[in-house]
Amino acid sequence: MGVITLQEVSKDYVLPGGGRLRVLDKISFGVADGMFNSILGPSGCGKSTILNLIAGLDQQTSGSILVQGKPRIGFVFQQPRLLNWRTIAENVELPLESQAMKADERRRIANRYLGLVGLGGYEHYYPLKVSGGMQQRASIARALAIEPEILLMDEPFSGLDEWTARKMRQELMRIWQETQKTIVFVTHSISEAVFLSQQILIVSPKPATVFKTVNVDLPYPRDYGNLQLFEIETRLTRDFLTMNFE
């Protein structure tokens, strides 16, 4: 059994007219401790809903979700969601302010994780004074500041240009190897999922079902020119073309 286990999880939303819209249909999968797992599927298929259920931000209609050990969970959203009137360091400190922790200890933790994501020296900058990629680095540092056992990431690089996104993927790979967090990463990019992941859960258009689970048994760090990664990406692209998108 993994640190995260979903069994036959379905999610319905009630429509204004009283009908029901099924978004997830009997989703089952597990994520082992320390694993990098991606949820891959077309836009609007319910991938983010799965993250919200794991995080406890929403409740499934049926089925069960087990997250072992009541771990701390960090969440990185598609947009950085930084407060523009706070410095980068103050944004990273934000989730620590509800804890019984002295200000100098909060700043020490913030500086540690800003260094980990490559933002050492930018502590006193404001979000609007740095690039989008740097803002997303800060959001990752903020999620790591609570020292979570599980990190949920909802298409965090989709708003970046491809050059910046590539650098961010390499940075995320390095951070994951250093911290050994369990990561569940949502994406609609086949190449991104293949490059980052040990396990890929492919879900269909909604109501989302598990179309396929793929293991990427290649060593880290990975290189963009790796032909084996390209072969896996090509195979998954063919698989995607066989899905029903109606």
Supply the pLDDT for residue 116. 92
Supply the pLDDT for residue 246. 52
Mean pLDDT of the region 60-82: 93
Q: Which of 213, 246, 244 is nearest to 27 (CA)?
A: 213
> Which residue would you say has higher pLDDT here, 77 or 243?
77
Let me know: does 187 contact 36? Beta carbons within 8 Å: no
Mean pLDDT of the region 209-216: 94
Whether the predicted pLDDT of 60 surpasses 60: yes
What average pLDDT does the structure give for the chain?
A: 93
Mean pLDDT of the region 169-190: 94
Using pLDDT thresholds of 50, 70 and 90, give the confidence band for residue 98: confident
The angle formed by the CA atoms of residues 197, 228 and 166, to the nearest 5 degrees, is: 50
Compute CA 171 distance to the chain's CA centroid, rounded to the nearest angstrom. 14
Q: Where do the domains of the chain lie, and which CATH numbers do they carry?
A: 1-71+150-160+181-246 (3.40.50.300)
Whether the predicted pLDDT of 62 surpasses 70: yes
The angle formed by the CA atoms of residues 149, 152 and 156, to the nearest 5 degrees, is: 135
Supply the pLDDT for residue 1. 57
Mean pLDDT of the region 10-37: 93
Whether the predicted pLDDT of 96 surpasses 80: yes
29-41 pLDDT, tens digit per residue, is 999 999 999 999 9
The model's pTM is 0.93
